[in-house]
Amino acid sequence: MGIQDQHTRRFVRASMARELLDADTETDLALAWRDRRDEAALHRLISAYTRLAVSFAGRFRRYDVPYDDLIQQGNLGLMRAAEKFDPGNGARFSTYAAWWIRASMQDYVMRNWSLVRTGTNAHQKKLFFHLRRAMQREQERDATSQEGPLATRLARELQVPEEQVELMMGRMAGPDLSLDAPQSGDEDGRAWVDALEDEGSDPEETVLDRLDSRRRRRALYHAVADLPERERFIVTARHLTSDPATLSDLGREMGISKERVRQLEERALGRLRATLGQSDPAHS
């Protein structure tokens, strides 16, 4: 996908044109921020390495998440790196920051790649980011050197349990599909949901669960309605629509920065968690 947003294009060009810092300059700037909270030094240190956020964002675009959101997440990782960096540990800031940028983007991808939670433990996260490449290597090897089923070989190469490999292979076999979608092109054909095995749930429990779900849904919409206007607008646009808006889109529409949109979103979600937690009998 191309970079369509002109603000993002300008940011990318500016990032790639910024100065490159040598090791001594990095150390001096990091010390100035750590010891004197020199904001000018912090700004220069971070600005010099926004190119890393841009570079990593390009690598993660294959997961079909918004490019400008990836850059934003990378910048957040860069700021965390600047806050935690110890100039006395002997490492370059650029090396240290790369780890935080990658981690921030990985977490964002894991939260947004699929409606079904894909990475629920360390093994699954490792597989999510390395399985496709490992499968390609296995396919390119000489068939005579391939011993055992594919999942077994992949588990051995990636050093994860075989059942975790099989689970992730199933999850990544295709995109999310609605269970209400028909199994064929015929509009009157059977939906996928009709093919699910009936495990004989108790009708009474089903009705109670449905009522509870409705109650929770009403509580959610009441909680959203009670949010301040800007926070309500952001939560609705980001989480309650079929085509969620990006931070950049909302920033332009509201006349504020992407970072400010993210801050308002985090505050709104915190309010919702607090409100819904108080109204849920399970939390009382």
Confidence (pLDDT) at 87? 86
Q: How many CA atoms lie within 13 A of 89 on its CB side?
A: 9
SS3 string, 144-174, reads HHCCCCHHHHHHHHHCCCHHHHHHHHHHCCC
Confidence (pLDDT) at 44? 94
Q: Enumerate residues 6+ apart whose C-beta is below 8 A from 118.
A: 110, 124, 128, 168, 171, 172
pLDDT digits (tens, 9 = 90+) for 157-175: 777 777 776 666 655 555 5
Confidence (pLDDT) at 184? 60
pLDDT digits (tens, 9 = 90+) for 126-148: 665 566 667 667 666 655 555 66
Which residue is it, tokens 């001096």?
28
Q: What's 6-112's CATH class?
A: mainly alpha
Q: Is 256 helix (H, G, I), strand (E, B) or coil?
A: coil
The gap between the terminal CA atoms of the chain, to the nearest Å, is: 47
CA-based nearest residue to 109, from 148, 145, 76, 61: 61
Rounded to whole angstroms, the Cα distance separating 223 from 243 reads 22
How much is the pTM? 0.45
Ranges under pLDDT 70 in the chain: 1-4, 62, 64, 110-133, 135-136, 138-148, 150, 165-212, 278-284
Domain positions in the chain are 6-112, 116-139+149-174, 212-278
Confidence (pLDDT) at 29? 94
Rounded to whole angstroms, the Cα distance separating 182 from 165 reads 29
Confidence (pLDDT) at 117? 45
Is domain 212-278 in CATH 1.10.10.10, yes or no?
A: yes
